[in-house]
Each structure stands twice: as C-alpha cells, then as structure tokens.
Structure 1
Amino acid sequence: MFDPSLAPPLPGGASAPLRVLSLALEQRDAYTEGHCDRVCRLAFLLGRRFDLDAVRLGHLALAARFHDAGKIGVRDEVLLHPGQLDAPAREDMRMHAVFGERLFLATGREDAADVARLIRHHHEAFDGSGYPDGLAGEAIPLEVRILSVADGYDAMTSARPYRGAMPSKRAMETLAGERGQRIDPEVYRQLQAVLRAGPDI
C-alpha cells in the first residue's frame, strides 16, 4: 500500500493562484482534494522512476495535484451522484478535463500551458479510447501516462461514501487487466516497483 507521506511536498511550493485553486477545490469536494494530493505524491515517485528532469517532474506534480480541479465546474447532481452515471451525465463529467485545463491556464503562471496540457489529457487511454482527444500510445505525454496510473490506483484504493476502499492487491490486479488498453504497461511495471519499495523509498 502506498503511503503518501513518503514522498516530498509539491515541488516549488504554491503560488497565490494555486492556493486559491486548491482552496476552491477543497470547498467544492473534500474527497477530490485529498485524492489529488495523494495522486500528486504517487505520480512524483513514479516520475522519478522514469528519470524525469526537475522541470518535467515539477509539471507532473502540478498536473497531478490539480488534475481534477475542473470538477469545480461540474454540476452537483453529477459530481456527487452516488452511483453509475447515465450517458448525458458521463459527458458532463468528462468536461472536467477541459475545465481543468482552462482553470490552470487562468493562473497565469509561466508553466501554465505545459501543465494545463497534461491536465487536459489525464483521461486519455493507451489504446486511444480515452478523452477528450482520443490520443493513443506514445502520442500521450509520458507524464500523462504516469498520472493516469497514479489516478486509477488511488481512486480504487480510496473509500467513498458509496463503496469501501479496494485492497492494494486487488487494485493492482484490476490495473494489470488494463495494460495496453487504458494504461501504459511500463508505467504499471514501475508502479509495482514503487509499491514494493514501500517505506524504503
């Protein structure tokens, strides 16, 4: 099981626009806020496994930390729905990737465009079946492929009001079945290594 306290805090700290965005997300949905924090830390550890340089690691950490910020713009009846969404509601939920891109661009940071691009694509799938642009394989930035695996793992291993947390082993078995489809097989392999390392990271 991944312990988020093992990873360093967000590189570079947080500027005022990011603090505002973080607070807005926390007020909108406390689960999403905690989820984004854990995904940030896990993605950072995965990024180091791929020897990303400091700039790319920073972009990855920021994108992971704010990948679901666009949920601020999703209607309550969709965002807080305690079960499976119907087709129109799923389309509304999918817009959070685009909303998140716009929100991060609005921070005015020098790296806003680079980070916003990663946020936009965090639901692309390795086989091209994802959204919003249907990117596939290596056309999906490596940082996004890392973020996708970290996101999926944390979503499954976190408790929600309508379901309990999935054990780490079961979550990894589920992700194993998605290799080459939703997720990059090599990123999955590196996630195995991160989880095996545990407290020795």
Structure 2
Amino acid sequence: MTDSSPFGASHALACSIDALSLSLQLRDAYTRLHCDRVGLLATALARYCGLDPAQCTRIGLAACFHDIGKIGIPDEVLLSSGGHDDAAQAIMRQHPEHGERIFLATGRGDAVDVARLIRAHHEAFDGSGYPDGLRGDAIPLGARILTIVDAWDAMTSDRPYRDAMDPARAMRILDDAAGGLVDPYLLGAFQDLQRREPALA
C-alpha cells in the first residue's frame, strides 16, 4: 500500500534534501551557489557522455551536495581567505568523508551510490587525491566528472579573495592537469560540450 499522506516516506525524503540545502546555504552561501552550479554542469556532462537518466540524476545530486561535508569544518578553516597550513588542510580534507556520512543519513534509496560519489570527488586520476588515493578507473565515473566541473567552477567564479579566472586560462590549467588530477577522456568531452554549448562556460 502506498503512503499518500503528506508525511509519508517520499515526502520525508524530499524534506531531508531540502533541509540539507538550507543547512548548506546558512553555513556558507558561496558553497551553496557553487554546488548548484556544479550540479548543472555535472548533469550536462553526464548526459553528453551518454549516461542513462538514472546515472545522470545520481551524478547531479552528488554534485549539488558534493561539499555538504563542509558543514562539519570549523569556521576558522572553512572561511579563511588565506592559505591553509598543514593542520588546517588536513581538517579541510575531511569534508568528503563528512559529506558521505551526512548523505547516507538521508535514508534515500540512492543514498549509498550518491554518497560514494561525494566521498570520491577529490580523488585524482593519477592516485594523488584523497581520501582513499584511488587511481584511474577505480574512481567512480561520476566522481571523475565532479572533479572536472568542480575545479572549473571554482576557478571561473568570483571569490572574496580573488576575481574569477578567465575561462581560457582555467581551461589551460585543466589541460595541464589531464592525466594527473583529471581524467583526460572526460576533460575532452567537457571541452567538446563547451564548444557545442558555450553558455555553459
């Protein structure tokens, strides 16, 4: 029997996502807007790569909440406008694992798959990333998509301590990172997508 009440399971799951969004907005407005943009870019790239609708939905959802774990990072680290020392960097690098645990707590049917992408969005194609040091195809495809669009949006957006980077320069930096930080095949697809849909840039 389907629960049709306004307080049924589906309603509760939708509310849990709304609550996460609001929590992120209140914690750090920049991060919320960044996550929204990354969600749009990741979904577009997943579709361009020919992934099925369910995969695209999971990747888009993971992108929208890839930084939700920053809720657990202290203000003096999260909101710092300068560089991080080793201790602060170690604290910041905990956010993918925090994010995984937070999203698992939503109880959604896709929570495990989405949380896995959130955990892996700072893995690097050459194995130098974190938290697990995954390499190449061992990194979930959706997480490899997230790495590219996350870096792109971070570079091409205004921050309190610097202006947005010129898109051509940002793309050169990603080119230099191909095979290192980012999957070279997916970067090529991202570049093709931008040529076809320049508004995404």
Quick check: TM above 0.5? yes
Runs of 4+ in 1 over 4 A off after TM superposition: none
Q: CA deviation at 1:85?
A: 0.3
Q: What residue in structure 2 maps to residue 77 of structure 1?
A: 76
Q: What residue in structure 2 maps to residue 125 of structure 1?
A: 124
Secondary structure (helix, strand or coil) at the match of 1:115 reads helix
Mapped pair 1:115 → 2:114: yes
Query: CA-atom RMSD, angstroms?
Result: 1.2
Identical pairs, percent: 55
Q: CA deviation at 1:167?
A: 0.9
Tell me the distance in 2 between the aligned counterparts of 1:60 and 1:41: 10
| Alignment TM-score, normalising by the size of structure 2 | 0.91
Q: CA deviation at 1:135?
A: 0.2
Question: What letter matches 1:27 in structure 2?
Answer: L
Mapped pair 1:176 → 2:139: no
Q: What residue in structure 2 maps to residue 96 of structure 1?
A: 95
Greater relative contact order, per chain length (Cα 8 Å cut-off, separation 6+): 1
Kindly name which structure, 1 or 2, has the bigger radius of gyration based on alpha carbons: 2
What is the total number of aligned residue pairs between the two structures? 188
Question: What letter matches 2:155 in structure 1?
Answer: M
| Unpaired runs of at least 5, structure 1 | 1-13
Tell me the distance in 2 between the aligned counterparts of 1:195 and 1:161: 27
Question: What letter matches 2:45 in structure 1?
Answer: L
Q: How does 1:1-201 map to 2 (within 5 A)?
A: 15-198=14-197
| Alignment TM-score, normalising by the size of structure 1 | 0.91
Tell me the distance in 2 between the aligned counterparts of 1:170 and 1:69: 28
The CA deviation string for residues 54-85 of structure 1, in whole angstroms up to 9 with x for no partner, is: 11111100000000000000000000010110
Q: CA deviation at 1:198?
A: 2.4
Tell me the distance in 2 between the aligned counterparts of 1:102 and 1:118: 12
Tell me the distance in 1 between the aligned counterparts of 2:198 and 2:126: 33
Q: CA deviation at 1:200?
A: 7.7
Q: CA deviation at 1:37?
A: 0.3
